[in-house]
Every structure is written in structure tokens, then in C-alpha cells.
Amino acid sequence: MDLELSESELAFQAEARAWLTANVPSEPLPSMDTPEGWALHQEWEARLAADRWSVVSWPKEYHGREASLVEWVVFEEEYYRAGAPGRVSQNGIFLLAPILFEHGTREQQDRFLPTMATGERIWAQCWSEPEAGSDLASLRSTARRDDERGGWVLNGQKIWCSRAALAHWGFGLFRSDPTARKHAGLTYFLFPLDADGVTVRPIAQLDGEAGFAEVFFDDVFVPDSDVLGAPGDGWRVAMSTAGNERGLSLRSPGRFTAAADRLLALYDERPDPRLADRVVDAWIKAEAYRLYTWGTVTRLAQGGDVGAAGSVNKVWWSELDVALHETALDLLGPDAELDSRWLDGYLFSLSGPIYAGTNEIQRNIVAERILGLPREPKGTPS
Amino acid sequence: MRFELTTDQQDFASALDALLAASDPVGVARAWAQGDHAPGTRLWERLAEQGLTMLATDATSVEVCVAFEALGRHAVPGPWVESAAYLPVALGAEVEGIATVAAPPHTPYALDADVADAVYVAGPDGLRTATVGDGLVSVDRTRRLFAVTAGELVAGVPGAAAPGQDAAFDLAALATAAQLLGAGERVLADAVGYVKQRRQFGREIGSYQAVKHKLADVRIALDFARPLLFGAALAPADSPRERARAVSAAKVACADAAYLASRTGLQVHGAIGYTEEFDLSLWLTRIRALVTAWGTPAFHRDRLLADLRSA
């Protein structure tokens, strides 16, 4: 049992640190959900990609470095320690790319991965529907077969689509076989958001920015070449995304250890012994998350998978993120309500316990799949 | 980077678990609480044969944590933290037989001084002999505590700061954290077993979300306490400061997680859990006692924050 980095991992860490020190913008970029901030975040992605830092774990032919999982975590730690910008490309590189590597054809990989790596094409995720949130598999948007044109025709409505207001392409599930049982008969589609019949209506989030959108589909044609995985196999394909979102890839420990360090610095500026315990608990929880991640990395390196433990993980980081930012705001006292990086972070943290499967759904998964408790009798489908 | 027990360490944990499970530890603990030490000292000897008393001097802190987690899981009574964690470090040698120590201010009383072959008091300049005074009643009836008065210095130089005391305290706190983790895991396992068979309103109570979510929170808390425990066990030997910081984080997290397990475990058992006769009571009271043993959560949070701020 050890927590040591090897010589080559230490060298990788030093190289990443040096590059980030030299390249990270000194001032935080404007919100990526504004047109100005969006462009600057895309530029930042291009800069990362130019020196092969945008997708370190990917194959070299797709702008990666074939970095190991340990190196990926190391890179993420360095990335957040350096205060580098949020990743406008995260839906693509963290959620879609693992699915493309696993289920995509070679042609799809060649077509989609390079522009994802450079940030040239930004992806939106389109999962939820007005009547399908936590119960995602009850979704109603349809895909109708069109043999003549060799593809499918999409109809329906998606909502809470992250980044869709400004993104170029989207990915989501549609019901391609209305006669099949709930989880069967779903197909995973990739589609341009400027295609004929697609209407995007931005939705302002709690912070006032249009971080997500509604997307309407009115006879949108998608060729067979843009179906990911087999028709009807969409649920299984998508669930590998869900595991990634809950588990390791989206929320690297560096995000929270860096935030905990910033919280300590804030406490030094504005010490308030009444809040001391909450400051130290935020640090402990971030440290626990860091160490837990090394345990996960060890398991994955030995061929294990994250499985339902991704739900344990998701509850932890999302609640830690809220608690950490609440503590920062309380330290700021009456200034807490004023615009600040802490306030931005707080508003963003509030979405964590909701997206990627609410924490109530996660607790059900922990209870049923890890503790082995009986499933609750299901309600009658409406 | 391999943050997982080695095969040898896993085998050691399994062997210890099997030995304890076959030793009627609940019966041992109940006898100990009544002042009948015979079954407990027999178990002590068997565990000493397995090497438990020499881990602190001859193995790593990881093995110490593995052993104490098993002791916590089975609610083994006796001054194990004192004999197998604190004293071997403070004395620089394995302890023969059963020994105990009071280390004020965090550990003001000597656990099981009536059964120990040697009783010490730890002062700033080292270990002293002790005169055993009155017994005190702990919430955990298996923890038989005694007031002590310090006598002659037996290890250390009068007036000089004793070098091993901090390391001894940290290993004792770490071993206590490991026991808490083991006890918390045990309470969760028993609670899960209970809610799967207990039926109300026509179905298992474990199928209700109100119960599920509470138990899921315990699973989550324990899963994130464990890496802090073993992270502290791996703290670099040449950095007392990093060690102290990691130990404090581990003690706080293991105490919080185990305490949550105990509250939740009691709640989902309902009235039967509130009885002395039901075995759950052994872990509920043990956890309550260990939460404040070898440094209260307030002490460890304070020590950790002071260190982080001076970094």
C-alpha cells in the first residue's frame, strides 16, 4: 500500500505544472455562458490542445498523450491548483468521448474526436425531458425510421441541456421503438444543433446566465452514421456516460482540494472562530475525496470498474462542494451577497446535488446495489 | 501508487476477523463488563500470539489499523490501544502482558488498570509509575476506567520533553480511529441485516426510502473515512507534522462516520436497539466512548486547523 508517484509520474507532474504556470490566464475568464466568455473559453481549449494538454489521456492521434489514469488525476490536480479556466468542452471530452471510444465506429471517432479535443466543436448533452427527469427512461421524444434516406427522423423536446445555448452539436436518447419496454427501444443519437427542424431556446440559470436550454425537434433527419451504438441499445450506451459523470471523470479531486485551500486563505483574511469547524471539515472532506480517488484509480488500474460506487462518489463531492461554498459565503459576512468568485462557485455548486441523477436517486442506488436493500414497489406508469 | 491493502495485509485482516468471529467476542465483552476478565485475557493471549502486541514496533501503521479495525468490528474489550499502540511507541519496545496508561489531558484515566500488569501515567517528561485510585463508570461498561496518581519517572529524563510522546499519542489516536471505523462498519452491517427482515405495513422496512437514505449516508460516510485512516497510516515517518495532521483528519472523520452509524443503527432498529440485552448496545456505547477518547473531535479539528493555517 502506498501513495507514491513514480519517477515518470513526477516528471509528468513537473511538466504540467510548468506549462500551466506559463499559460494560465492571470485573470479569470468571463462566464463561459456569455458569448464573450464562450469565445475566450474556446480559445483556451485551442491553446491547451496545441500543446497536447486538452485531453491528456487520449491517444496521440487525437491530440492526447496517452497519459495513464494516475497521470490524468495528477494533471487535474495541477490544473485546478493553477486556477485554470473551467472546461467549456467538458460535455464532449468527459461524457461523450468515453462512449465514442467504447461504442463508436472508427469513422465516428475520426470524425468527432479531433474537433472535440481542440474545442472547435462544443457538445451539449440532451437527456432530460419535461416529463422525464429522474425517471429518464420514461422519455417520449421519438426517432422514426426513414429507410429511404438511410436514417432516422427525430421529434420531441429535451430540456436542461447543458451548454446547448451556444454549443454546436448535441447528444441524447430517443425512443426508436414505441412497442418495446421502457428501457429497450431507445437509441443514442448525435446531431448538429443548427440542423433543419432544431430549435434551441436558452434558459437563464439561477446565476442569470444561459447555461442550459430547451431543444425542440421537429422532423429532424439524422443519418445512420450519426447513431452511436446499435439502434435500441441506447440505454446501455448512455449509462456508461452516467457512470462517468457521477464517478471519476467530471469531478476530479483537484477541484475540491484547490477550493479548500482557497477557503483556508479566506479564513486567514477573515478569521472567525465560530466558523472554524466548518472550514476544517471542508478541508477534511476534500482530502478524503482526494485519497478516495486514489483508491478508485488503484481499482480501475487493476481492471475493476466504478459501478455503483460512482453514486457514493457523486453524493460526496456534490455535498462537499455546497458546504465548502456556504462556509466561504458565511465567512464573507454581509459581503456574501455581492458578486464574487465565491458566489459564482456557490451558485454553480447548487446544481451538483441535482444534475447527473439527483442525490436522492444516488442514495437509492447506494442502498439497493451496494447495501442490497429491497427495491421500493414502483408507482403505476402514467 | 497503489492505495489498497496488499494481499498479505488483506490475508492478515481476514485471519484476524475469522479468529475473532469464532471467539464469542460478545460473550467476552459482556463478561469483561461484569469484571470477569478470564475469557478476555484468554482472547488477549491468542491475539498476542497473532502478533497484535508487536505491530507498533515491528510492522507498519497500516497493519496497526487493520488490526484495530477488526478489534472495533468485534467490540473486543481491554486496553489494546494502550498496550499495542501508545506504550510500545512511548517505551520503544513491545509490551509484555497487559499494560495501560493514562495520558492527561486527553486520556485522563487508565483503562482497565485493575487487570493490567503495569500501569503508567504519561507526563511531559515521560512515563511514570502510577498508583491506581478509584474506578469510574463509563457509558461503555466494558471500559473500566481508573483514576491514577503519577509516581517515579520510569522512561525519560526529568524536566526534559519526552521525544516519543507525540508519536505515541498519534498512534493511539489512529488506532482509536481504526476501531471506530470497524465498529461503524459492524453497526451498518447489522442494521442492514435487520431492515431486510423486519416488516411493517406489509413490507420490509429497508424498502422505504426514509430508511434507505439514512443507511446510504452511513455507507458514504464510512467509505470516505477509510481513505483518511489509511492515508494517515502512510504518513511519512520523518514528518511529525504531516503525521499529526493526517491523524487528526482521520480521527475526526472516523468518529463522525461511526457516530452517524451508531445513531442511524439505533434508529432503524427501533426500541429493540435501545435495550441493554440486544448486542447492538455494545457498539453504540463503545462508539460513544471512543468518539472522545485520545483527543476529542474538537481537539483534533483545532489541531488540524492550527497546522493548516501555519502551513
State the CATH number of the domain containing residue B189.
Answer: 1.20.140.10
Q: Which residues of A touch B217 (CB under 8 A)?
A: 315, 363
Q: Could you say which residues of chain B have pLDDT below 70?
A: none
Q: Could you identify the residue written with the cell 477518547?
A: B293
pLDDT at A376: 83
Torsion from C-alpha of A224, A228, A232, A236, nearest 10 degrees: 180
Q: What amino acid is encoded at B199 in this protein?
A: R
Whether B207 maps to a domain, the answer reads: yes
pLDDT at A246: 52
pLDDT at A241: 60
Whether B138 maps to a domain, the answer reads: no
Per-residue pLDDT of chain A (382 residues; tens, 9 = 90+): 999 999 999 999 999 999 999 999 999 999 999 999 999 999 999 999 999 999 999 999 999 999 998 999 999 999 999 999 999 999 999 889 999 999 999 999 999 999 999 999 999 999 999 999 988 989 999 999 999 999 999 999 999 999 999 999 999 999 999 998 888 999 999 999 999 999 999 999 998 888 899 999 999 999 999 999 999 999 999 887 655 555 555 578 999 999 999 999 999 999 999 999 999 999 999 999 999 999 999 988 888 888 899 899 999 999 999 999 999 999 999 999 999 999 999 999 999 999 989 999 999 999 999 999 999 887 765 5
Q: Which one from A45, A78, A129, A245 is the annotated catalytic residue?
A: A245
Cell of residue A329, nine digits? 459565503
Whether B152 maps to a domain, the answer reads: no
Tally of structural domains, chain B: 1
Whether B14 maps to a domain, the answer reads: no
User: Is A142 in contact with A167 (CB distance < 8 Å)?
Assistant: no
Residue of A nearest to B224 (CA): A288
- What does the longest C-alpha to C-alpha distance in chain B come to? 70
- Kindly report the backbone phi and psi dihedral angles of residue B134, in degrees, each rounded to the nearest multiple of 5, phi listed first: -70, 150
Q: Which of A3, A292, A298 lies at the smallest CB-CB distance from B223? A: A292
Q: Which of B192, B217, B309 lies at the smallest CB-CB distance from A373? A: B192
Whether B173 maps to a domain, the answer reads: yes
Tell me the C-alpha distance between B133 and B113, whole Å.
9
* Residues sharing a CB contact under 8 Å with residue A375, sequence separation 6 or more, in sequence order: A368, B207
Q: Hey, are the CB atoms on B212 and A70 less than 8 Å from each other?
A: no
CA A141-A142-A145 angle, to 5 degrees, is 165
**Domains present along chain A, CATH in parentheses:** 7-88 (no CATH), 123-237 (2.40.110.10), 247-370 (1.20.140.10)
Is B201 within 8 Å of chain A by CB? no
Tell me the C-alpha distance between B76 and A378, whole Å.
43
Q: Hey, are the CB atoms on B252 and A284 less than 8 Å from each other?
A: yes
Q: Best of B222, B224, B302 to disrupt the A interface by mutation (most A CBs within 10 Å)?
A: B224
ipTM, interface predicted TM-score of the complex: 0.96
Q: What is the pTM of this model?
A: 0.95
Q: Which of A4, A299, A363 lies at the smallest CB-CB distance from B216? A: A363
Q: Hey, are the CB atoms on A4 and B252 less than 8 Å from each other?
A: no
Whether B169 maps to a domain, the answer reads: yes
Is A101 within 8 Å of chain B by CB? no
pLDDT at A377: 81
Per-residue 3-state assignment (H helix, E strand, C coil) for B158-199: CCCCCCCHHHHHHHHHHHHHHHHHHHHHHHHHHHHHHHHHCE
The sign one gets for the Cα dihedral B291, B297, B298, B302 is positive
- Other beta carbons within 10 angstroms of residue B289's beta carbon come to 18
What A340-346 contacts at long range (C-beta under 8 Å, 24+ apart), as own/partner pairs, is A341/A28, A342/A266, A344/A31, A344/A207, A345/A259, A346/A322
> What is the tally of helices (H) and strands (E) in chain B?
12, 7
User: Is B164 in contact with B89 (CB distance < 8 Å)?
Assistant: yes
Beta bridge pairs of residue B118:
B99
- Other beta carbons within 10 angstroms of residue B105's beta carbon come to 7
pLDDT at A351: 94
Note the pLDDT tens digit of each residue in A272-321.
Answer: 999 999 999 999 999 999 999 999 999 888 888 888 998 999 999 999 99
Residue A148 a catalytic site member = no
Residue of A nearest to B303 (CA): A280
Domain that holds residue B228: 165-309
Q: Hey, are the CB atoms on B208 and A294 less than 8 Å from each other?
A: no
Q: What amino acid is encoded at A24 in this protein?
A: V
pLDDT at A122: 97
Residue B229 CA: distances (Å) to CA of B169, B186, B232, B233, B249: 15, 17, 5, 6, 8
Q: Which of A5, A267, A367 lies at the smallest CB-CB distance from B1? A: A5
The H or E element spanning position A212 is: strand A212-223
Note the pLDDT tens digit of each residue in A39-70.
Answer: 999 999 999 999 999 999 999 999 999 999 89
Residue of A nearest to B192 (CA): A371
Q: Across B16-175, where does the E strand assignment appear?
A: 99-102, 110-111, 118-123, 126-137, 144-155
Whether B280 maps to a domain, the answer reads: yes
Whether B305 maps to a domain, the answer reads: yes
DSSP structure class, residue B24: -
- In the A/B pair of chains, how many CB contacts fall below 8 A? 143
